[in-house]
Amino acid sequence: MTTARQFEEPITNLYEMDFLAWIEDQAQALRARKASGLDWDNIVEELESMGRSEKNALRSHLRVLLMHLIKWQWQPQKQSKSWATTIRNQRLELKYLLKDSPSLKRLIPEMLPDAWNNAADEAAFETELPISTFPESCPWDIDTQIVANWWPE
């Protein structure tokens, strides 16, 4: 709960001293439509940071999923329940992330090349297969193979 004393302190000071108190203060100011009580610069920074976090989560889930799909396809003799669980979990996390933020889906085509390269590099390290074993670009379709319940052969 915001006290009168908190309103007397500079808003940015509260931001630096007690992030949760700052959030509560800003939420209260927004609910009250009190524009003068808003810490505009830090609100913008936090909103942009939230957007970056969502993008980073997408990139991370995509990379981990691709890496395990690569291992699944190129080392079928080592397929395990652990790999299958990781593939299923990453698909589920992507599904939830895209359900909560559908606009992230438009970013996948631009993220896919880097995610593939990083996944292939990690898979090469883990499997000890030469990086040249894997295609230079992702051979799978994002909708029908990567995110869907499809498994490489």
Quote the mean pLDDT of the chain. 91
Distance between CA 28 and CA 19 in Å, rounded?
A: 14
| pLDDT above 50: residue 96 | yes
- Check residue 3 and give its pLDDT: 52
* Tens-place pLDDT, residues 8-37: 555 558 888 998 999 899 999 999 999 998
pLDDT band at 144 (very low <50, low <70, confident <90, very high): confident
What is the model's pTM? 0.80
**Residue 148 confidence (pLDDT):** 87
